[in-house]
Amino acid sequence: MSSLKSMSALHGIVSPGRYGKQDGEPGVVASERRDIGLATIAARKGHEADLTAAVKAAYGAVLPSGPGSAVGPGVRFIGIGPGQWFAVSETLANEALADDLAERLKGLASVADHSSGRAIIRLEGPEVRAVLAKGLALDLDPRVFGDGAAATSTIGHMGALLWRDGEAYDIALFRSVGGSFWGWLRSAAAAFGLEVVTTS
């Protein structure tokens, strides 16, 4: 089988630098998380409990029953719907994550590789919530959207999966709308100053 090359979704679209308001500290710092493993997991009918036990044994995480994260060593599992999860890993890069999940969860879940299929954009900084509020109809106040919280919704009418990792907000978009999202982000964050860094 031929292997696919991992490519940045924003290569040639986004350049590092300062955008919008130039003076003072940037309100938002954006970076693309590249070369990470992404996969979806869908429980096979009647195997939900076995799947939860297998994930706990193999990855040290208890699959969340709602929109939220469970983090084991190296892999984050995010609830995206009933019986469905999105897995994210830096240590199991690119397709290695889906290969590993498919092997360890054989017969219990259907696993699909999504690495390079999504653009993962990390937003940090004091004004992230103010920027997201311009396009996302969700309450991100830390009292209701704490560390590890997750939601599938739309940002600027583009389908997005959002989760909180510490003080950072990670956004997964289909890579085909990466450029459109960048256009939205650049406009929405201009008033606060946007700093784009490339490294994750």
Partner 1 sequence: MRITCPYCGERALDEFTYRGDATVKRPDSLDENTAEAWVDYVYLRDNPAGPHKELWHHGAGCHAWLEVTRDTVTHEILDVAFARKGC
| Candidate list 119, 151, 162, 172; residue touching partner 1; CB under 8 A | 151
Nearer to partner 1, 65 or 91 (CB): 65
- 13, 47, 58, 67: which one binds partner 1 (CB under 8 A): 67
- Which DSSP state fits 184? H
With CA atoms as reference, report the closest residue to 123 among 177, 35, 186.
186
Distances, alpha carbon 186 to alpha carbons 20, 136, 179, 191, 195, in Å: 7, 15, 11, 9, 10
Among 1, 15, 137, 166, binds partner 1 (CB under 8 A): 137
Question: How many positions of this chain bind partner 1 (CB under 8 A)?
Answer: 14
Of the pair 8, 153, the CB lying nearest partner 1 is at: 153
Rounded distance between C-alpha atoms, residue 114 and residue 27, angstroms: 31
Residue 141 in contact with partner 1, rule: CB under 8 A = no
- Min. distance of Cβ 119 from partner 1 in angstroms? 18
Is 80 among the residues that bind partner 1 (CB under 8 A)? yes
Residues of 132-171 as b/e, b for ≥16 C-beta within 10 angstroms? beebbeeebeeeebeebbbbbeebbebebbbbbbeebbbb
Contacting residues for 94 by C-beta, under 8 A, at least 6 apart: 6, 35, 36, 37, 115, 116
Is residue 142 a contact point for partner 1 (CB under 8 A)?
no
Q: How far is the CB of 20 from partner 1 (least distance, A)?
A: 28
Assess 81 for contact with partner 1 (CB under 8 A).
yes
Length of the chain: 200
Is 180 one of the binding residues for partner 1 (CB under 8 A)?
A: no
Residue type at 64 in one-letter notation = P
Q: Using the rule CB under 8 A, is 153 a contact of partner 1? A: yes
Q: Which of 16, 60, 142, 159 binds partner 1 (CB under 8 A)?
A: 159
Of 91, 121, 116, 126, nearest in space to 198 by CA: 121
**In this chain, which stretch among 21-29, 125-133, 148-156, 190-198 interacts with partner 1, using CB under 8 A?**
148-156
The Cα–Cα gap between 54 and 60 comes to 9
Q: Pick out residues in 22-61 that bind partner 1 (CB under 8 A).
A: none
Binding site for partner 1 (CB under 8 A): 66-67, 79-84, 137, 151-154, 159
